Amino acid sequence: MARKIRKFRRQYGESREADFCPDWCKGHYDGHGERTHAAFDARLRALRRQQPAMAEVQGEHTS
């Protein structure tokens, strides 16, 4: 097991998305987490831009 862990660590270096030990093997090697986080941030920014417009629409319905 230790040999395989060393091999993976050498192969994938200091990736923030990969971690290996005797208890788990977390190997997101291709940047999946970074892409997901970037897509989430983009959607959140888009929703924040829409928020003032949504408040105006909601205010019209309550009066």
- Specify the pLDDT at position 43: 95
| 25 against 23, higher pLDDT | 23
**Cβ count within 10 A of residue 20:** 18
| 27 against 46, higher pLDDT | 46
Q: Which structural domain, as residue segments, surrounds residue 55?
A: 2-62
Domain count, the chain: 1
Residue 44 backbone zone (phi > 0: left; psi -120 to 50: alpha; other: beta): alpha
- Specify the pLDDT at position 21: 81
CA atoms within 13 A of residue 60's CA, in its CB half-sphere: 6
Q: How confident is the model at residue 30 (pLDDT cuts 50, 70, 90)?
A: confident
Mean pLDDT, residues 35-47: 94
Cα separation, 60 vs 3, in Å, equals 66
